[in-house]
């Protein structure tokens, strides 16, 4: 026992020390907890990105499939040839008076009981403001006004140059917004927080206004309205989603047809044109270049300024106009025998994905989220296509002759496919040159990367990844200060790179899921210093703690990931079995991680994700069969369908939907039985299912549940499932009707 | 997350650890060049199952940094150090009961809770103080708005469930 004060001090000291240590302990524990949350957040982000990326590759594969068909398919009948023609042919753009007819809105009556916003032209600022308010109240603009507005928009856009020049002299500040992707809430929020457009408040919207979100139509209406009202201050750049072929897959087409059942077709038609008339870039004070994607080492602003942007209907895979028949044939022959080219993925002999440089390598190098899709589709001039198809047939015949040892008689030269000028007579060529097309694709699709150099992006067939040196060279060449672009989703809504010479701005908050990311916009004053404003347009997120926000987003990502895993169940099983030579039914968790990656190719940190996907097992092993069963159970709760079928359906659903929409060229939501048959033949040949023509006809008729001669998309998907079912029952070449299951299937029209 | 017990022998253990470390590292390797920002090292180490203090973390960083610090940590330097840590099972996480006792030290009168001001005081003035951001984030989840206090037993229980 010591004397009072020293003991007191001693105890006080001890207590203080204890408190210090206790606090330190709690902090240490807490920091670890937060670190793990942070890790989860990053992993979640990676999941979303990789699934999106994989989805884009699907899109490319689909496009490859169609391209391949066009190149190699030998139609058996004129019917099929016509069908192909129709499938791939784009209507020529109605010129002049034809277009007037298409944009014909005056005959459309607006009913008296219509309570939505009304527009009259020329538009006044009040109209545009009223439009925003109306949409905020969830009203819908009548088709007549939509068409009228689009018509006026088109007239206005035609006068604009490819590269808009804007100055901070007129309006003191300029606000630049990135991708909106149909998220009207974000647009409304931006106007609310930053103010409506006005002569003093200039705006630049940097593309990707549509697709994915549910209010793409409304966003376009608002943007176009303000552009007409404030033509000097309100500017729009084209994004890669301002493209009718991309819209087929990513939801905009669907949205339009759903909201405008009667006039949707007209609307889509004029939109197709409006999109091509959107300017390609905006230049502020000759110093800041704003464009949607990025640049390449070949980017030539002078060329971009001069070309006819209207010619670039879609940033699709571009084939050069064949100058003469001879060269064409040689090219095609080379194509067929090219050894270096990876075998198309859909050919029966190469079921696995081709080992191409674009696979994991590029994924790893480019983690930044991709908010957009890829060039796809093959819109062609009808004559050109027919020519190609005929050529394929001839070449095929030649090959057969060769194989049979017969002389290849090519007699007279096929009348050379006309040169562009001759073909279209006195009209200007309807297609851009290879170089022009490439320049536009580059600026709409490219992404920055950290490494120096410029890498072509073969996944998307256009655009590239550009390094800091490419940026630097471009800025110097044109005497610019920096670049603003969008195109990629960023967790904070924006990101600087290349020593702050490139700014990515992305304005669709909660893009993947509620709480997944912020949106942002950037303001430029006369000094051109970027000032960034971030937001998350969802009240709910503000009330959640970070932990809850991360959990929500994570759940969503994991759900998507589990669905993907399920969609590859059979492949996974095969892969797991490889690691289980002794047939114990068990594999190590390490094997699990390897197997999953080798099947899914998503480049995800599986070991980090494992605790969320696999119930922890104490001895480090996994009973893989029951794990797969658990996965299936989760998915199957939704529908009473056999798991392997569901698996195939899931895997192909969006492809099938896209195919359906491509076939349904008049966007009616229906395809004729004939079209169905033709499509079925094409698709089943790549799926390696043997079905005779008669079977398909019968199938088509039986699928048409309401017997109206047309098939809607649900019936279409159902059809696919049924045939798969019959095939998996082991009756590959039999007519589906002979199996019992088919009858059962047919008698269940309601199960969509 | 790295809490599996390896039973198959030391070599396999090391190989396993290597893969785990690589996975965790790659999450933050944004440029795909086998480097991460030094500021993310703490997150990586902690997510691999370790629970170092800030001081210990600083020492670790010094070990894996370049001679002339670049702000980036290379995987080649990180891997051996981290493997060692995992093998030695250093910086083990804090068991729940110890954590509870720590809170009780700060609550000598055994009320079962800490007032918001008290929590703030301890977390921002004692130990290895929180930044304002850290403090705010902890408060948002821990404080019961009606009583303006944190019932630490419940709080711990909630956080622990969350982790698994």
Query: What are the tens digits of pLDDT across the range A677-705?
Result: 666 666 655 555 455 666 666 656 665 65
CA B65/CA B48 separation, integer angstroms: 19
Interface check A12 vs B, CB under 8 A: no
pLDDT of A228 reads 96
Residue B124 in 3-state DSSP? helix
CA A512/CA A561 separation, integer angstroms: 13
Is residue A83 very low, low, confident or very high in pLDDT (cuts 50, 70, 90)?
low
Within 8 A of B23 by CB-CB distance, chain A residues are 593, 605-608
Check CB contact under 8 Å for B99 and A29: yes
Paired sense of beta strands A586-588 and A234-236, if any: unpaired
CA A224/CA A705 separation, integer angstroms: 42
A-chain residue closest to B31, CA distance? A450
Backbone angles phi, psi at B153, to 5 degrees: -65, -45
Is residue A343 very low, low, confident or very high in pLDDT (cuts 50, 70, 90)?
very low
Give the helix, strand, coil percentages of chain B, each rounded to 5. 60, 5, 35
Paired sense of beta strands A173-177 and A586-588, if any: unpaired
Check CB contact under 8 Å for B128 and A27: yes
Partner residues linked to A177 by β-bridges: A205, A521
CA A491/CA A252 separation, integer angstroms: 24
Check CB contact under 8 Å for B52 and A450: no
Nearest alpha carbon to residue A218 among A146, A124, A153, A299: A146
A409-432: average pLDDT? 41
Longest dimension (CA), chain A: 121
Residue B149 in 3-state DSSP? strand
Segment B93-118, tens digit of pLDDT: 888 899 999 999 999 899 999 999 99
Check CB contact under 8 Å for B30 and A450: yes
Check CB contact under 8 Å for B24 and A33: no
Task: Kindly state the percentage of chain A with pLDDT values over 70.
Answer: 60
ipTM confidence: 0.91
CA A252/CA A268 separation, integer angstroms: 9
Lowest mean pLDDT among A124-133, A307-316, B112-121: A307-316
pLDDT of A607 reads 85
Within 8 A of A35 by CB-CB distance, chain B residues are 42-43, 45-47
Residue-wise DSSP of A554-615? HHHHHHHHHHHHHHTHHHHHHHHHHT-TT--SEEEHHHHHHHHHHHH-----HHHHHHHHS-
CA A351/CA A346 separation, integer angstroms: 7
Of A19, A27, A608, the CB nearest to B105: A19
Segment A570-600, tens digit of pLDDT: 889 999 999 998 988 889 888 899 999 999 8
CA A196/CA A190 separation, integer angstroms: 8
CA A262/CA A140 separation, integer angstroms: 14
Low-confidence ranges of chain B (pLDDT < 70): 1-10, 12, 161-164
Assess contact for A70 and A388: CB atoms under 8 A: yes
What's the whole-model pTM score?
A: 0.65
Of B7, B129, B141, the CB nearest to A545: B141
Backbone angles phi, psi at A519, to 5 degrees: -105, 165
pLDDT of B80 reads 94
* Number of residues in chain A: 752
Which residue is it, tokens 């622990």?
Answer: B160
Partner residues linked to B144 by β-bridges: B149
Identify from A31, A366, A452, A554 which residue to disrupt to test chain B contact, counting B C-beta atoms within 10 A and taking the largest count. Answer: A31
Mean pLDDT: which of A39-48, A86-95, A472-481 is highest? A472-481
Residue-wise DSSP of A664-726? -TT--SEEEHHHHHHHHHHHHHHTT----HHHHHHHHHHH-TT-SSEEEHHHHHHHHHHHHHH
The three-point CA angle A154-A149-A374 to 5° equals 60
Check CB contact under 8 Å for A39 and B43: yes
Nearest alpha carbon to residue A146 among A175, A179, A182, A110: A110
Partner residues linked to B164 by β-bridges: none
Residue B16 in 3-state DSSP? helix
Segment A358-407, tens digit of pLDDT: 222 233 333 333 333 323 223 334 444 444 444 444 444 444 444 444 44
Lowest mean pLDDT among A8-17, A110-119, B115-124: A8-17
Lowest mean pLDDT among A172-181, A347-356, A463-472, A602-611: A347-356
pLDDT of A515 reads 79
Of the residues A181, A241, A366, A678, only one is catalytic, namely A241
pLDDT of A633 reads 76
Q: Output the CA torsion A702→A706→A712→A713 (10° steps).
A: -60
Which residue has better confidence, A650 or A205?
A205
Nearest CA-CA distance, residue A532 and chain B, Å:
20
CA dist A102 → A92, A263, A359, A381, A419 (Å): 13, 10, 43, 20, 30
Partner residues linked to B73 by β-bridges: B36
Residues within 8 A of B (CB atoms), A 598-617 only: 605-608, 610-611, 616
DSSP code of residue A534: E
Paired sense of beta strands A288-291 and A482-485, if any: parallel
pLDDT of A404 reads 43
CA A576/CA A625 separation, integer angstroms: 9
- The verdict on whether A241 is a catalytic residue reads yes
A–B CB contacts, 8 A cutoff, strictly below: 146
CA A108/CA A267 separation, integer angstroms: 13
b/e map B66-86, b = 16+ CB within 10 Å: eeeeeebbbbeebbebbbebb
Which residue is it, tokens 């210990």?
Answer: B56
Check CB contact under 8 Å for A619 and B7: yes
DSSP code of residue A62: H
């Amino acid at each position: 026992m010591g004397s009072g004060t020293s003991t007191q001090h001693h105890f006080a000291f001890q207590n203080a020390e204890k408190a210090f240590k206790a606090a330190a302990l709690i902090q240490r524990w807490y920091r670890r907890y937060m670190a793990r949350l942070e890790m989860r957040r990053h992993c979640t982000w990676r999941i979303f990105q990789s699934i999106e990326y994989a989805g884009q590759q699907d899109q490319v594969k689909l496009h490859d499939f169609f391209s391949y068909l066009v190149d190699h398919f030998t139609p058996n009948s004129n019917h099929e040839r016509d069908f192909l023609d129709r499938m791939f042919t784009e209507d020529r753009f109605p010129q002049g008076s034809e277009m007037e007819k298409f944009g014909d809105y005056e005959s459309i009556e607006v009913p008296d009981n219509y309570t939505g916003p009304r527009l009259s032209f020329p538009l006044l600022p009040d109209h545009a403001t009223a439009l925003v308010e109306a949409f905020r109240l969830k009203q819908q603009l009548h088709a007549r006004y939509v068409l009228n507005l689009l018509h006026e928009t088109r007239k206005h856009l035609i006068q604009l140059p490819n590269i808009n020049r804007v100055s901070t002299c007129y309006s003191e500040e300029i606000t630049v917004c990135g991708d909106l992707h149909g998220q009207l809430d974000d647009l409304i929020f931006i106007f609310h927080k930053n103010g409506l457009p006005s002569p003093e408040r200039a705006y630049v919207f940097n593309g990707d206004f549509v697709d994915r979100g549910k209010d793409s139509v409304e966003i376009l209406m608002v943007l176009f309205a303000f552009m007409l009202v404030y033509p000097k201050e309100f500017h729009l750049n084209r994004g890669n989603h301002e493209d009718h072929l991309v819209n087929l897959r990513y939801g905009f087409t669907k949205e339009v047809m759903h909201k405008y059942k009667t006039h949707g077709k007209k609307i889509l038609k004029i939109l197709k044109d409006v999109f091509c008339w959107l300017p390609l870039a905006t230049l502020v004070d000759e110093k800041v270049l704003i464009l949607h994607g990025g640049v390449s080492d070949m980017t030539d602003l002078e060329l971009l300024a001069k070309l006819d942007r209207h010619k670039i209907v879609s940033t699709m895979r571009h084939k050069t106009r064949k100058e003469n028949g001879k060269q064409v044939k040689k090219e095609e022959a080379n194509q067929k025998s090219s050894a270096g080219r990876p075998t198309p993925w859909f050919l029966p002999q190469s079921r696995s994905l081709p080992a191409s440089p674009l696979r994991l390598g590029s994924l790893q190098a480019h983690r930044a989220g991709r908010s957009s899709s890829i060039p796809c589709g093959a819109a062609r001039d009808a004559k050109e296509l027919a020519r190609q198809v005929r050529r394929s047939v001839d070449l095929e015949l030649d090959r057969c002759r060769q194989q049979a040892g017969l002389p290849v008689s090519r007699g007279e030269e096929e009348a050379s496919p006309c040169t562009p000028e001759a073909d279209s007579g006195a009209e200007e060529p309807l297609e851009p040159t290879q170089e022009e097309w490439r320049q536009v694709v580059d600026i709409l699709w490219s992404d920055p990367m950290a490494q120096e150099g410029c890498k072509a992006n073969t996944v998307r067939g256009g655009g590239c990844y550009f390094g800091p040196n490419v940026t630097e060279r471009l800025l110097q060449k044109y005497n610019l200060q920096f670049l603003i672009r969008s195109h990629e989703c960023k967790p904070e809504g924006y990101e600087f790179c290349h020593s702050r010479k490139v700014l990515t701005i992305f304005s669709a908050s909660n893009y993947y899921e509620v709480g997944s990311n912020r949106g942002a916009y950037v303001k430029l004053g006369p000094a051109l210093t970027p000032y960034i404003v971030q937001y998350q347009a969802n009240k709910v997120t503000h009330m959640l703690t970070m932990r809850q926000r991360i959990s929500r987003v994570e759940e969503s990502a994991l759900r998507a990931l589990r669905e993907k895993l399920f969609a590859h169940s059979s492949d996974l099983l095969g892969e797991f079995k490889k690691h289980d030579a002794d047939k114990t039914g068990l594999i190590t968790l390490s094997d699990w991680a390897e197997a999953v990656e080798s099947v899914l190719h998503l480049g995800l940190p599986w070991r980090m994700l494992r605790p969320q996907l696999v119930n922890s097992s104490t001895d480090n092993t996994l009973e893989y069969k029951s794990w797969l069963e658990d996965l299936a159970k989760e998915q199957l709760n939704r529908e009473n369908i056999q798991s392997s079928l569901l698996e195939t359906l899931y895997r192909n659903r969006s492809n099938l939907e896209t195919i359906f929409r491509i076939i349904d060229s008049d966007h009616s939501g229906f395809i004729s039985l004939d079209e169905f048959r033709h499509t079925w033949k094409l698709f089943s040949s790549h799926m390696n299912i043997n079905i005779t023509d008669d079977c398909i006809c019968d199938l088509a008729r039986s699928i048409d549940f309401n017997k109206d001669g047309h098939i809607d998309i649900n019936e279409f998907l159902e059809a696919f499932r049924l045939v798969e079912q019959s095939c998996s029952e082991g009756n590959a070449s039999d007519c589906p009707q002979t199996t019992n299951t088919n009858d059962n299937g047919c008698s269940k029209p309601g199960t969509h | 997350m790295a809490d599996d017990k390896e039973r198959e022998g030391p070599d396999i253990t090391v190989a396993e650890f290597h893969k785990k470390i690589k996975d965790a590292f790659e999450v933050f390797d944004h440029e795909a060049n086998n480097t991460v920002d030094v500021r993310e090292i703490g997150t990586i180490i902690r997510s691999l199952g370790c629970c170092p203090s800030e001081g210990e973390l600083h020492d670790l960083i010094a070990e894996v940094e370049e001679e002339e610090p670049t702000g980036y940590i290379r995987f080649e330097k990180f891997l051996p150090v981290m493997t060692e840590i995992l093998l030695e099972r250093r910086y083990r996480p804090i068991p729940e009961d110890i954590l509870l006792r720590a809170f009780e030290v700060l609550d000598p009168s055994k009320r079962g809770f800490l007032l918001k001001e008290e929590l703030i005081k301890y977390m921002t003035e004692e130990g290895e103080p929180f930044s304002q951001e850290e403090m705010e984030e902890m408060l948002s989840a821990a404080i019961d708005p009606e009583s303006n206090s944190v019932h630490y037993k419940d709080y711990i229980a909630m956080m622990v469930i969350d982790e698994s």
